[in-house]
Structures are given as structure tokens and as C-alpha cells.
Structure 1
């Protein structure tokens, strides 16, 4: 009963302070133990999952709303964030019907009509360093945690479609912009970087060609230290040259032939 009362109060707040017909959904990618991961939320008192997101304040720019939502879910302030698609199908209930979805949400009966109106969602994808994230659920959810991108369950609404399209967009980005600064730790090896690219692309890359290509872009600095705890000829550590990296982002040079 207390939950339903709070939901009703939140609905009043939404109607007063937020745009009701436009929402934001965020596909947050992280990389850990050789796996590309996505941050998901589990709806309160259910086994049903969805993407993080939220509404836009009347006096708030859309990108500002996306950054705010990401801060609240991850605890991070500096995030690579990019808008990738607008989802505006009339019916956006893909894995479960509208009625099933509304029942799963556990909303009070007199509040259901507030969520039946057509909703347009702007999709963003974010690249974050896994170890720096503090997954934090919101009021409507009990859990926020990482899932391997190839083990995503059936999600509410059209959120599976969002993840598929975000991953396709990320793969396309590899052809004209660098990837890694937001996904890898400050120091990493060339094999670490290659594994990241291979994981995103879903294919193997030639080691020598990859290293030659990456070094040719001038975005990496080789350090005078090697990865510890490995073989005798442990690989050198690298880090990104932030200035050159940001220039490559702006110039959109071709990265993958």
C-alpha cells in the first residue's frame, strides 16, 4: 500500500514537472573479463528487467536529462554518451503484451491510464569503465547489475531491440572513431585493446595488422613498464593520449578498413 501511494505521488510529480510523451532509455556498455556487458534494472518485486532511463524536466535539455539519468545509475560524471535512435512505434510492447507489461509493473489500477498513452523514446548509448561504476537502482527497481551482452533476458517494452541497435551503432563507430578510452582502465596492453575490439565486432583480428593500425593513429602512448604477473616477455602497457584521442573523435578518421 505504501508503494502504491508513493507511485501516485510520483505520477503527480511527473505530470507537473516532466514531459510525459518523451522518455530517454540508455544502453550502458562496460567491458570486463573479456566480455562486453550492459547495465540493466530489475523491476521492483519481479524478475523482469529493463534498461535505465527516465523523463525530461520541462526546463532541461535532452542531453542533460540523459547525463543526469546516467549519473544516478552509475555514479559517474564524465561519460561518453551518444544519441543513436528514436523509438516511436505505435506499439512498443515486443516480448509481452501491453496488458502483461502493465501488470508486471505493479502499478495501482487508477494509475494505469497514465502509462498507456503513446510514448516516444530517445535512445542513448554510453561507454563506461566497468570498475568505476556503482550500479544503483531507482525507485521503481530493486536491482541494478551488469549482464553479458550475449545473455540478455527478454526485456520489458522494446528494450531488446534497443540493445541490438546500440551494438550495431557501436560497431559502426569503430570504422570512424576510436573506442577504448571509456571502456579500458588507464593503463592497458595491446592484447587488451585488441580483445575489446574483437569482442565488440564479434570477430578475430590479425594481431600485427591491428597493432600497426592502432599505433599509426597516434592516439596511444607506450609506457616504459610492462604488465606484471605474466610471462618473461610481458607486454608493454599503453595509455591513450587524451588530446589526440579527442581530436580523432572530432575528425572521425577511418579506423577499420
Structure 2
């Protein structure tokens, strides 16, 4: 069976190439023009979607495997990537049973395919500018594209749960770490920064309180330039102080309250 041969050649289930039964699963969030999306893969033998995943080489660290998998699916490297949870439930078939999942992926429902034995998944999430991504499918999939976070279909395995928890973790992250360095132009306005936070949080923020709070962290530099082309009074442009931004990213502090 072709798909079986591809699984064997890719994963080498005898353990010679990859750590058996442990995978990396990626929740890749993309921000652009006030929209938040998530990157999904389409399994080529059916109609189903799932998250990008990868295995860990015996000779690489887990975080290196995560960055490699991210690079293979997006073409990006050196972007924000954070481990958020380990998924190890004994039964991880949520929308479809194990047998239904096998059939949907093109395997006989009674197969002993190692792909369907118990796996532990290490979840990572990334936040990228999705206009810079080159979505690239893997050997098992024929399409890799963005979906609005509010319009994600029922996914295989427990991948919907992964997205929900990753988004919850990302929103919690805003309370102690800054975001925006790789998601906004080098020079941006305060309304553009606020729109980024509102898009991720899924709720409006008070303009004055947001601006006061962001300026109090001393990670923004206000420029003498103003944004041109608007109908109203042009707002000042800002940029991140990279050294201070990186320090807060490392040390943490109280952000959105």
C-alpha cells in the first residue's frame, strides 16, 4: 500500500532515525491586517485537515526539532516559538474514532499501522506575519493554508483541543511578555499596535489605558515622524527598542491587566 510505504520511509518505525511515539505538533498563528489565522494541512487521501507535525531525530534536541518542523512548513526561522503543553491522553481521537480516523486517512480500519499506536505530542505555538509565510505541505498532505481561528473545521485527532489551548496560552502570555516585533512594520502607530493586541485577545481595549500601559513599559520609542495619508490628525510613529524588548521578553513583566 503506497501510504504505508511512505510512512515507513519517512518515520522508520524501527527507531533508527526518529524517537518513536513522540511527535512535535505546531499551532502556527498568523497575524496580518487585523486578522488572526492558524495554519492547517490537508491530508491528501481524504477531506480532513490537521495541524503540522513532525518527529524528533535521535541526534537533535526537542526545540531544534520544533524549529526544523516550523521552517519546513513555513520557510521561516528565528521566529517566536514556545512550548505550551504535552498531550499524552490515552485516547486522542476526538471527532472520529480510531477506526474512522484510519479509514479517513486511507488505511484499513483493522490495520496495525504504527502511526496509530499511542503517541505523546509536544505542543509548540508560533506567532508569525502570515503574509511572509510560504505554506508548504509534507509528504502526507497536498495543501497547506491559513484558516480563520473562528472557522477551523473538525480536525483529526485532538488537534482542535490543541488550538484552543494554544490560543488560551498565547492570550495569557500577553499579561507578562510583549508581542509585535515580528508582526508589525519597523515603524508603526499606537492604534496599529492596539489592533494587534485586540485581534489576539478577541476583545476591544480602552485606547487611553492601552497607550498609557504600553508606554510605561519603556520598550517603545516615539519618533518625530507621523503617519501620513489619513483623514484625521496623523498619529505619531513608534518603534520597538530591541534591547529593551528582548529583555522584557526574557524577564517578563505585568502587561495587559
Q: What is the TM-score when the length of structure 1 is the normalising length?
A: 0.93
Structure 1 residue 124 displacement after superposition: 0.5
| 1:111 CA drift (Å) | 6.7
Task: Give distance in 2, aligned partners of 1:200 and 1:157.
Answer: 25
- Residue aligned with 2:22, SS: strand
- Structure 1 residues 128-137 or 58-67, which shifts more? 128-137
Residue 59 of structure 1 and its aligned partner are, at CA, apart by: 1.1
SS of residue paired to 1:25: strand
Q: CA deviation at 1:197?
A: 1.0
The residue number in structure 2 matching 1:238 is 238
Q: Does 1:191 align with 2:227?
A: no
Matches within 5 A, 1:1-257: 4-12=4-12, 15-107=15-107, 112-257=112-257
* CA displacement at 1:108 relative to structure 2: 6.9
Distance 1:240 1:4, change over 3 A: same
1:186-210 alpha-carbon deviations (Å, 9 max, x no partner): 2322111111111222221110111
Select between 234-243 and 68-77 the one with higher mean Cα deviation: 234-243
Long gaps (5+) in structure 1: none
Cα-to-partner distance string for 1:186-238 (whole Å, 9 max, x where unaligned) = 23221111111112222211101111111111111223333343225222222
Q: Secondary structure at the match of 2:68?
A: helix
Q: Which structure has greater helix proportion?
A: 1
Distance 1:216 1:158 in 2: 40
Asked whether the 8 Å contact 1:228–1:234 carries over to 2, the reply is yes
C-alpha distance in 2, partners of 1:172/1:255?
10
Post-superposition Cα deviations, 1:157-191, rounded to whole Å, max 9, x if no partner, equal 00000010011111111111111123223232211
- SS of alignment partner, residue 176 of structure 2: coil
Distance (whole Å) between structure 2 residues aligned to residue 13 and residue 237 of structure 1 = 54
Distance 1:74 1:91 in 2: 30
Output one character per residue of 1:81-129: Cα deviation in whole Å (capped at 9) or x when no partner.
1110000000000011111111121247897421232110010011112
Q: Could you tell me whether the CA contact under 8 Å between 1:7 and 1:107 is conserved in 2?
A: no
Contact kept, 8 Å, 1:31 with 1:184, in 2: the verdict is no
Question: What whole-Å deviation, never above 9, does each CA across 1:42-83 have from its counterpart, x for those lacking one?
Answer: 111322111111110011100000000000011111111111
**TM norm structure 2:** 0.93
Distance, in Å, in 2 between the alignment partners of 1:140 and 1:156 is 14
Structure 2 gap ranges (5+): none
Question: Superposition RMSD on alpha carbons, in Å?
Answer: 1.9
Separation (CA, whole Å) in 1 of partners of 2:100 and 2:235 = 53
3-state SS of 1:248 partner? helix
In 1, Cα distance between equivalents of 2:201 and 2:154:
23
CA distance in structure 1 between the aligned counterparts of 2:61 and 2:214, rounded to whole angstroms: 36
CA distance in structure 2 between the partners assigned to 1:38 and 1:94 by the alignment: 19
